[in-house]
Amino acid sequence: MAKISHTAAFIGIKFYGLTKDARISQHFDPFLPSFYQNLVSHLPSHLSWYQSFLNSQWMRRFFMWTEELLLPGDIMHIICRKYYLDKMIKESLESGVEQLVILGSGFDHIGAYFSSKGTPCFELDRELMTKEKQFFLEKFEYQKTNLVLIPGDFEKGRLCEFLSSAATFDTSKTTLFIAEGFFDYLSVQSSREILEDIRELNPQNKLLTTFFSLDELNSFHRFSFTSGVSMVGESLKLPLNLSSFTTLLQKYGFIPGKKISFVDMEEGLVKETGLNLPVLNGFYILKTGN
C-alpha cells in the first residue's frame, strides 16, 4: 500500500475525525461516518493511528486548530463537499439519472453508498488504488453486484475505453459523471479528452464536479495548499481559474446549471452546524446539464 493516494486517505481521515462531532454527523446518513471509520482502520499503520488519535476530543480540537492555522477553511470544505455532493447526486437521481460514474474515486463512499440503494455505480481510478479499494469494500462487505471498479490512468488512456471494459455499463442510460477533487490533478489536455468522451458517450450525460480556483487564495494560503499536496507526492496540474474552467466546460456542451460557492456553504451547512469556521476560499461545486 506504499503508493496509495495520500490525498484521498487524508480526506477520509479528516472526515472521520470531524464527524465525531455530533453537530456535524447529524447532517449525514449514519452510513458515512461508519464507512470512514472502517476506512481509517483499514489504512496502513502510518495512517491508521489517526483513528485512536481522533477519538480524543482534545486531540480533535488540537488537530482542527493546526489545520485552521495553516489553511483556514480546509476542514470545513471537506465536510461541505461531502454534504453538497451527496445532496446533488440524490437530486440528479430523482430527475432521471440512471447510473453513476465516479472519476478518480479514491477512497470515497459514493459508489458504496448509492449502489447499496440500487443505483448502478462505476468507479474509475489508477490500478493500485482500484485494487486497494476493492479489498477494502470486500473486507467490510460494501461490495455489491451493481458496483464496478475499473482501473485506468487518465493520462495514458481514454475514458470511453475504460468504460467499454465494464459489461454492465449502458451508454444508452443517462449518466451522472462525478468528479470530486479530480480535474485539479489533470492536465488541460486530459481534461479535454474526458469531457469529450462524456459528451460522446451520450449527449444526455451530466457532470457534477468540484473545482479549486487557486487565484482566490492569498499567496500564503495558496502555498500551504499546493505544498501540502506536493508533500504527499501529488501535484495540481490544471492551470485554470473558475472563469476559464467554466469556458472549458461550455466548449464541450456542459452548461453550468447550478453553482455552490464557498460563501454559499458558509451561509448554508456551516451556519446550521453552529460552528464559526470558514470554508476554503476558491472552492466551488458545479452541476452541469445539456
**With helix as H, strand as E and coil as C, how does 132-180 read?**
HHHHHHHHCCCCCCCEEEEECCCCCCCHHHHHHCCCCCCCCCCEEEEEC
d(CA 35, CA 119): 18
Residue of 4, 184, 1 lying closest to 107 (CA atoms): 4
d(CA 217, CA 254): 26
- Count Cβ atoms below 10 Å from residue 68 Cβ, excluding itself: 15
Phi (first) and psi of residue 151, to 5 degrees:
-75, 145
Sign of CA dihedral 38, 39, 45, 48: negative
Q: Name the helix (H) or strand (E) containing 200.
A: helix 188-201
Phi-psi region of 186 (alpha: psi -120 to 50; beta: other; left: phi over 0): beta
| HSE, side-chain direction, 13 A CA sphere, residue 173 | 16
Sign of CA dihedral 36, 86, 122, 106: negative
List per-residue pLDDT tens for the chain, 290 residues long: 447 888 889 899 999 999 999 999 999 999 999 999 999 999 988 888 778 778 888 888 898 888 888 889 999 999 999 999 999 999 999 999 999 999 999 999 999 999 999 999 999 999 999 999 999 999 999 998 999 999 999 989 999 999 999 999 999 999 999 999 999 989 999 999 999 999 999 999 999 999 999 999 888 888 887 777 776 667 778 889 999 999 999 999 999 899 999 999 999 999 999 999 999 999 999 998 64
d(CA 264, CA 158): 34
> Going from the N-terminus, what domains does the chain have, and what CATH number goes with each?
1-70 (no CATH), 73-289 (3.40.50.150)
Q: What are the Cα distances from residue 159, in Å, to 39, 95, 173, 193?
A: 27, 25, 16, 8
d(CA 66, CA 53): 14
Contact 67, 79 (CB under 8 A): no
d(CA 98, CA 177): 11
Kindly report the pTM of this predicted structure: 0.94
d(CA 217, CA 186): 20
Q: What are the Cα distances from residue 53, in Å, to 30, 34, 40, 76?
A: 21, 17, 11, 19
Q: Name the helix (H) or strand (E) containing 289.
A: strand 283-289
